[in-house]
Structure 1
Amino acid sequence: MAWTKYQLFLAGLMLTTGSINTLSAKWADMFSAKGCRGDPEHGFSHPFVQAVGMFLGEFSCLAVFYLVLCHDRRRPEPKVNPGQSFNPLLFFPPAMCDMIATSIMYVALNMTSASSFQMLRGAVIVFTGLLSTAFLGRRLVPSQWLGIFITILGLVIVGLSDFLTGHRDEHKLSEVITGDLLIIMAQIIVSVQMVLEEKFVYKHDVHPLRAVGTEGFFGFLVLSLLLIPMYFIHVGDFSNNPRGVLEDALDAFCQIGHQPLIILALLGNTVSIAFFNFAGISVTKEISATTRMVLDSLRTLVIWVVSLALGWEHFQGLQVLGFLVLLLGTGLYNGLHRPLLARIPCCAGLVSEAEESNPGERERLVNDGMLEGGDES
């Protein structure tokens, strides 16, 4: 069935904004500018300020939700289901997981390439699958276990490519390895977030935009307040800012004043995360969850190609192999092979059996990919 113009628009919007989200964050990291108090020119290394901007983008989804709801209520027959009433504090634990994971990933993005950053985020499949089995009692089908093992292989290949060629890029080899490990660590926290959301949040039938916005509100509020003590916590050279503190928000604003293009990169990150969440939810609703997964994988390719074109990183053949292996693992875990097998008479029964053993699998996949942050941040 051919896609409508609106469906094509949504697919393009999701692919574009998802790519801009990572590229704009990396672009901000590449600027250098003078700071406060006559500090010499130095790199813009403010991951927690960037994370605050990301949560502001998620928070804006709450405004979009209420605008959509108000517009829908003016119709003779409202179509939007606002969901049942719920305690917003249900979202606080997963929001804190999102905050920690996103902050760690923005620290890591300053140490490694944008393409490796995006590819290594595929590790969330491994930890989500294992935690879902341990704490939610879910039984994974053989193809999902195979997908997990292939994903691990892909992660090893991408990490190996960074290890072998790290000296060719602007980052030191030790920084690249540390950044890659931090990204993997962050995916463990993201998987905890997903398990918490599924166990305590999704059963309340909360509208996705409202869920994204509520988590964005908690993340924005808490992390904004944490910027105050971070200003006084000394961490030495790890911070890469003149005062050697965990986060110097004042230095970030001073650098923005000296180099206005930084605010453009930060706004790109904030706006793109809001539109990406909206487009992702709409793609799932208007087309399918499978299409959303494919588009999410394609944005990794877009980020890699754009980074090469801009000269941000060098071509690595081993990284291409890692990307293809990760793509295969993701496809197997998410069941993208099932429509193909269903067309083969001898395999159709196996597909039906797999779906019966996981009755809510497609809905779970939608939920697993609902929030971008600790997931597209």
Structure 2
Amino acid sequence: MASRAAIPFLVAMMLLTGVCNTLLTKYQDMQCVRNCDAEDLAKRAYFNQPVLQTAQMFVGEMGCWLVVGLMTLFRRYGPGASPTSNGYEAVNTNDTDDANAPLVSSPADIPKPQEQDPGSILRGPRILLLALPAICDILGTTLMNIGLLLVVASIYQMTRGALVLFVGVFSVVFLRRRLFLFQWLSLVGVVVGVALVGLAGAIYHENKSKVENADEGSPESNALLTVIGVLLIAGAQIFTATQFVLEEWILERSAIEPIRVVGWEGLFGFVVTVIGMVVLHFAVGRTSAGQYGYFDMTEGWRQLTQNRAIGLSSILIMISIGYTLSLLQLTHLLRDHYAELC
């Protein structure tokens, strides 16, 4: 019952923190970092560091280890914990009943191979399996951050709705799930809605650009950039859907807590992102063509630390990344609830 009561709260937190994360990220993109005194708005340079924004997301996910530590302390020293046992539980040495009991009562009691150790899939070095969804998260988040540079926050948030289509298809193909006709129709409706949002955004920018440039006689349109942004965001949902399907597959075959999954993914994702940032900085960012670009790590760090608005919003984004934890906890609870119904 407690799990069912927590589901509405988790849904609300997922929506709230997800919206805050989008708005704060777009707020960062709107901050001027160079030539801010120029009267010509076209000469002003704004914050455009999608890779750095991906790294700050993983820092927020790594913060889940603080929650894991607090939970461990609470279980050990909180109410109901034994102050003397220190987590140790004595073994029952009375083997009289065990000696008289049969080793296997029936063939049905023989555990299946996958049931012998539910946590074995992530035991030891196999914890590195969580790097796979983390890499998908890197690719998906970076593409979405680039797309957010090209579209407004509302179009970005609506386009992310395409995620449900890819998750549904991948769940059927890889997890052998079954979707009913009304569910497929719902997915098609979502895709049509996403297409309409992208089309409306392109038409709006085209008309706006024509009005703004009517006096100059050379109307320039941002419609193409909007379409590219929508395609990047929609394409990023393929990687995000792959991440979710991998996470569900791992959670079904292990006893690991979802919050630990977030923590491990944050750690692996941060390490891979930083390594990629360093490599791309020396390969591209240091060149004249790559200066002030996505892979100029030195410039990105300068903008993050010297611009107060960007720095504060970065901290808030790290906090709002808690929506990832809410989403995984929700998936875990809904899966258990579905199992009870079946």
Task: State the secondary structure of the residue aligned to 1:33.
Answer: strand
Count of equivalent residues: 277
Counterpart among 143, 147, 155 of residue 194 in structure 2: 155
Work out the CA distance in 1 between the residues paired with 2:325 and 2:17.
10
1:59-100 CA deviation, whole Å, 9 max, x = no partner? Answer: 11122122112212224546xxxx946332120111111111
Structure 1 residue aligned with 2:272, among 196, 206, 222?
A: 222
Q: Is the 8 A contact 1:33 1:258 kept in 2?
A: no
1:265-285: CA deviations, max 9, x gaps?
1111111113x3445566778
Match of 1:174 among 212, 215, 224: 224
How far did residue 225 of structure 1 move?
A: 1.2
C-alpha separation between the residues in 2 aligned to 1:8 and 1:146? 25
Q: Work out the CA distance in 1 between the residues paired with 2:326 and 2:166.
A: 26
**Greater C-alpha radius of gyration:** 2
Deviations 1:219-242 (A, max 9, x none): 11110111112213449xxx9x97
Residue in 2 aligned with 1:295?
none
Q: Which moved more, 1:121-130 or 1:47-56?
A: 121-130
Q: TM-score, normalised by structure 2?
A: 0.71
Superposed CA deviations along residues 94-152 of structure 1, whole A, max 9, x for unmatched, are 11111111111111111111111111111111111112212222221112111111111
Q: Does 1:184 align with 2:234?
A: yes
Return the match for 2:149 from 89, 94, 110. Answer: 110
The AA in structure 2 aligned to 1:191 is A
**1:130 pairs with 162, 169, 173, which one?**
169
Q: Which moved more, 1:195-204 or 1:9-18?
A: 9-18
Once the two structures are aligned, what percentage of the paired residues are identical? 32
- TM-score by length of structure 1 reads 0.65
Task: Tell me how large the CA RMSD over aligned residues is.
Answer: 3.3
User: How far apart are the structure 2 equivalents of 1:43 and 1:29?
Assistant: 6
1:69 matched to 2:117:
no
Cα distance between partner residues in 2 of 1:105 and 1:243: 22
The partner residue of 2:315 within 244, 267, 271 is: 267
Task: Go from structure 1 to structure 2 and tell me whether the alpha carbon gap of 1:279 and 1:129 turns closer, same or farther (over 3 Å shift).
Answer: closer
Matches within 5 A, 1:202-217: 202-217=252-267
Match of residue 299 from structure 2: 251
What's 1:355 paired with? none
In structure 2, the partner of 1:45 is: 48
- Give, as a single letter, the amino acid of the residue that structure 2 aligns with 1:96: I
Gaps of 5+ in 1: 290-358, 364-377
After TM superposition, the runs of 4+ consecutive aligned structure 1 residues lying more than 4 A away are 5-15, 278-285
What's 2:101 paired with?
none
Task: Report if aligned partners of 1:101, 1:187 keep a CA contact under 8 Å in 2.
Answer: yes
Residue 100 of structure 1 pairs with residue 148 of structure 2: no
CA distance in 2, matches of 1:131, 1:150: 18
CA-CA distance at 1:195 after TM superposition: 2.1
- Runs of 5+ consecutive residues of structure 2 not aligned to the other structure: 36-42, 82-117, 213-220
Deviations 1:291-326 (A, max 9, x none): xxxxxxxxxxxxxxxxxxxxxxxxxxxxxxxxxxxx
SS at structure 2 position matched to 1:138: coil
Looking at structure 2, the residues matched to 13 and 110 of structure 1 have their Cα atoms a distance apart, in angstroms, of: 25
C-alpha change, 1:361 and 1:150, in structure 2 (3 Å) is farther
SS across alignment from 1:232? helix
Aligned ranges 1:23-62 → 2 under 5 Å? 23-34=23-34, 42-62=45-65
Counterpart position of 1:231: 281
